[in-house]
Chain A
Amino acid sequence: GAVVSQHPSWVICKSGTSVKIECRSLDFQATTMFWYRQFPKQSLMLMATSNEGSKATYEQGVEKDKFLINHASLTLSTLTVTSAHPEDSSFYICSAQTEWSQGRAETQYFGPGTRLLVL
């Protein structure tokens, strides 16, 4: 159980185009989803937190107009990188968390990641 998928697994795009990445929780309902970015040999950096049906909360330094996040259902969140540039090339990882009746679950379940290369 607790499987999270991401699509696509990798994408190459031209500078100036937009790219959409999907994150799905396959066998549970995710009340909260998180989006991270990871550069080579570096740690995961949280970009934003999204709760189903509400606006995402972005971390300091992350441009909300550039990284559009939509969490329209309890099983799907999308991250759109708008007007992508080469410096946006990175490994994007989502995670999902559910909330039990007695409060939130403590574990985040991570997707396999999406590698973005902007030429």
Chain B
Amino acid sequence: SQKIEQNSEALNIQEGKTATLTCNYTNYSPAYLQWYRQDPGRGPVFLLLIRENEKEKRKERLKVTFDTTLKQSLFHITASQPADSATYLCALDMGSSYKLIFGSGTRLLVRP
């Protein structure tokens, strides 16, 4: 069966540390993988997109890796801040259909 798995348990880290979130998928072949941030009661906000032929993408304190062999993406936030506390969603984009298939998200808590 097709699955997208993100760690359902909250990730609790100290301010200043690097947060690493994982997204694993099975029986999909996405053309792109996207990461979004969602705050409580709000819609998702786009953060980063990585293509299937890219290994790594960076944007300021954010870094995403994409391993199509392992079928896994890692999302890193360096020098984390309490304002980074939110739920982070990964989404698979098959390309041709324009549809996004979302994981259930991982909640990140950054302690001051």
Q: Give the interface of A toward B (CB within 8 A).
A: 4, 6, 32, 34, 41-46, 49, 91, 93, 95, 97, 104, 106-113, 115
- A41 CA to B45 CA in the complex, in Å? 17
- Taking a contact as CB atoms under 8 Å apart, the answer to whether B102 and A107 are in contact is no
- A4 CA to B46 CA in the complex, in Å? 12
- A115 CA to B41 CA in the complex, in Å? 8
Q: Main secondary structure on chain B at its contact with chain A?
A: strand
- Taking a contact as CB atoms under 8 Å apart, the answer to whether B34 and A107 are in contact is yes
Nearest-CB distance from A62 to chain B (Å)? Answer: 13
- Taking a contact as CB atoms under 8 Å apart, the answer to whether A111 and B43 are in contact is yes
Q: Which of B68-104 contact A (CB under 8 A)?
A: 89, 93, 98-104
- A80 CA to B46 CA in the complex, in Å? 26
Q: Which of A6, A49, A110 contacts B44 (CB 8 A)?
A: A110
Q: Which residues of A contact B45 (CB under 8 A)?
A: 110
The reply on B49 being an interface residue by CB < 8 A is: yes
Q: Which of A46, A106, A112 contacts B32 (CB 8 A)?
A: A106
Q: Give the interface of B toward A (CB within 8 A).
A: 32, 34, 36, 41-46, 49, 89, 93, 98-105
- A112 CA to B41 CA in the complex, in Å? 8
Q: How many A-B residue pairs have CB under 8 A?
A: 50
- Taking a contact as CB atoms under 8 Å apart, the answer to whether B46 and A46 are in contact is no
| Known A-B contacts A93-B43, A113-B41; A49 and B99 likewise in contact (beta carbons under 8 Å) | yes
Q: Which residues of B contact A45 (CB under 8 A)?
A: 102
Nearest-CB distance from A12 to chain B (Å)? Answer: 15
- A46 CA to B98 CA in the complex, in Å? 12
Nearest-CB distance from B32 to chain A (Å)? Answer: 6
- Taking a contact as CB atoms under 8 Å apart, the answer to whether A113 and B43 are in contact is yes
**Closest B-chain residue to A107, C-beta based?**
B46
- Taking a contact as CB atoms under 8 Å apart, the answer to whether B43 and A110 are in contact is yes
